[in-house]
């Protein structure tokens, strides 16, 4: 509360008391907290150790089937956002388990999702009836509005990170969801079709019957077998960015923009012994350690990084990364949303 002379204070207090029941508030008491001079996230830096979460997820696997749960997922909720089911104010993150022989039934919703495979081989995500066979550290997209189901015909558990824009859709009160009614969407094209047609910087000619996927977003599978060699090659040939390390963004081949309307994703490589210069950006980000060990300095916090750890870096907190051994990271954020809405900012320090 702003300091006011006593008589004014009494006058204002009387005004507030009378108008509050009418759902009216004085802006001048909260303006500074509503319109901030710079971002100040209620989210905190945090880390989930993969083996720790995995143990709970396997217990969930004993307790409930994927079909029964619809999605058997443990939500990673930011300790600074209790009750939000969110890892940052705009991002959702969870770890999903599909056991051998299980299906996660077909549904669609306004929310866009990305999946980053943590463990397992040979389960699939099907988008509008087209399967992508998933391998560790593959990125798979299920854009908003498209039917998707998951299945695991392999003999081992399949676990992936779900990154969704649930809080963004909630902010706009724009959520629609429906179930198909059958567990799996009828298969529409052979598995892997998206990669054949759109995965090589080529596309079927416009208007041809071979151009089957939605025009604006035809690619939904970005394989580790593709992105990793590209990043490794970059690390041997390119000058390293002092603030990022070697970094490649996943892109939508139709326009060179982010992979989803709301979410962006990228990968980085830091050579052993390399330390980035500090950097901050307005897109709170979720990192996954793909390989290597090191540390993340997030504001005042030091977080040790080990393979498959999940780390959240809130908006505008200074991040410095240190690689003990060669460090490979995946990250997603709401940068796509912020760019579209003209909010995005970053600062190299």
For residue 94, the minimal CB distance to ligand GTQ (Å) is 4
* Distance between start and end Cα atoms, the chain: 34
Residue 132 or 164 with smaller CB distance to ligand GTQ = 164
Contact yes or no for 265/227 (Cβ under 8 A)? no
Phi, psi of 319 (to 5 degrees): -120, 130
Cα distances from 274 to residues 37, 248, 267, in angstroms, run 33, 17, 16
Q: Which is nearer to ligand GTQ, 109 or 213 (CB)?
A: 109
Residue matched to tokens 């039917």: 147
Nearest distance from C-beta of residue 187 to ligand GTQ, angstroms: 19
Which residue has the closest beta carbon to ligand GTQ? 162
- DSSP letter assigned to residue 285: E
Contacts with ligand GTQ, residue ranges (CB under 6 A): 71, 73, 94, 96, 109, 113, 148, 162, 164
CB of 173 to ligand GTQ, least distance (A): 17
Min CB(124)–ligand GTQ separation in Å: 12
Query: In this complex, which beta carbon is closest to ligand GTQ, that of residue 137 or of residue 160?
Result: 160
Output the smallest distance, CB 219 to ligand GTQ, in A.
19
**Which residues does residue 183 pair with via DSSP β-bridges, in sequence order?**
none
The encoded tokens of residue 96 equal 């999903």
Cβ proximity of 190 and 161 under 8 Å: no
Q: Which is nearer to ligand GTQ, 146 or 276 (CB)?
A: 146
Nearer to ligand GTQ among residue 94 and residue 284 (C-beta): 94
Beta pairing, strands 123-127 & 148-151:
antiparallel
Q: Give the C-alpha separation, 309 to 288, whole Å.
A: 6
Contacts of 103 (CB under 8 A, 6+ apart): 66, 67, 149, 150, 151, 152, 183, 184
Alpha helices in the chain (DSSP H): 6-19, 31-34, 50-63, 66-69, 166-171, 193-198, 224-237, 335-340
Nearer to ligand GTQ, 164 or 297 (CB): 164
| Residue 108: CB minimum distance to ligand GTQ, A | 9
Name which of 92, 101, 47 is nearest 74 in CA terms: 92
Neighbouring C-alpha atoms within 13 Å toward the C-beta of 66: 22
What is the closest distance, in whole angstroms, from the C-beta atom of residue 92 to ligand GTQ in the complex? 7
Q: Which CB, 128 or 162, lies closer to ligand GTQ? A: 162
Using the minimum distance from each CB to ligand GTQ, give the nearer residue, 97 or 269. Answer: 97
178 or 346: CB nearest ligand GTQ: 178
Smallest distance, ligand GTQ to C-beta of residue 166, A? 7
- Are residues 284 and 334 in contact, defined by beta-carbon separation less than 8 angstroms? yes
From the CB of 107, what's the least distance to ligand GTQ, in Å?
Answer: 6
Separation of alpha carbons 307 and 274, rounded Å = 17
Could you tell me if 176 and 109 are in contact, meaning their C-beta atoms sit under 8 angstroms apart? yes
């Amino acid at each position: 509360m702003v300091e006011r002379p006593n008589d004014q204070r009494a006058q204002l207090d009387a005004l507030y008391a009378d108008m509050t029941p009418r759902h009216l508030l004085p802006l001048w008491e909260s303006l500074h907290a509503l319109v901030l001079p710079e971002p100040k996230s209620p989210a905190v830096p945090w880390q989930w150790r993969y083996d720790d979460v995995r143990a709970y997820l396997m217990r969930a696997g004993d307790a409930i089937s994927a079909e029964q749960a619809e999605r058997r997922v443990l939500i990673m909720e930011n300790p600074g956002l209790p009750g939000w089911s969110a890892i940052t104010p705009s991002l959702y993150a969870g770890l999903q388990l599909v056991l051998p022989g299980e299906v996660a039934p077909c549904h669609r919703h306004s929310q866009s999702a990305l999946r980053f495979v943590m463990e397992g081989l040979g389960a699939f995500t099907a988008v509008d009836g087209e399967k992508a066979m998933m391998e560790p550290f593959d990125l798979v997209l299920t854009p908003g509005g498209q039917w998707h189901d998951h299945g695991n015909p392999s003999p081992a558990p399949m676990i992936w990170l779900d990154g969704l824009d649930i809080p963004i859709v909630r902010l706009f009160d724009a959520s629609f969801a429906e179930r198909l009614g059958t567990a799996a969407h009828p298969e529409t094209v052979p598995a892997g079709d998206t990669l054949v047609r759109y995965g090589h910087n080529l596309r079927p000619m416009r208007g041809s019957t071979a151009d089957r996927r939605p025009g604006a977003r035809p690619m939904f599978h970005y394989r580790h077998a593709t992105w990793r060699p590209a990043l490794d090659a970059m690390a041997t040939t390119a000058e390293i960015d002092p603030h990022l390390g070697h970094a490649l963004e996943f892109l939508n081949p139709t326009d060179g923009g982010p992979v989803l309307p709301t979410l962006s994703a990228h990968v980085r490589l830091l050579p052993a012994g390399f330390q980035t210069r500090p950097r901050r950006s307005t897109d709170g980000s979720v990192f996954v350690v793909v390989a290597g060990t090191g540390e993340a300095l997030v504001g005042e916090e030091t977080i040790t990084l080990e393979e498959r750890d999940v780390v959240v870096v809130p908006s505008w907190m200074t991040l410095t990364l240190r690689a003990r051994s060669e460090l490979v990271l995946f990250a997603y954020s709401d940068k796509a949303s912020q760019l579209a809405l003209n909010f995005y900012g970053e600062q190299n320090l």
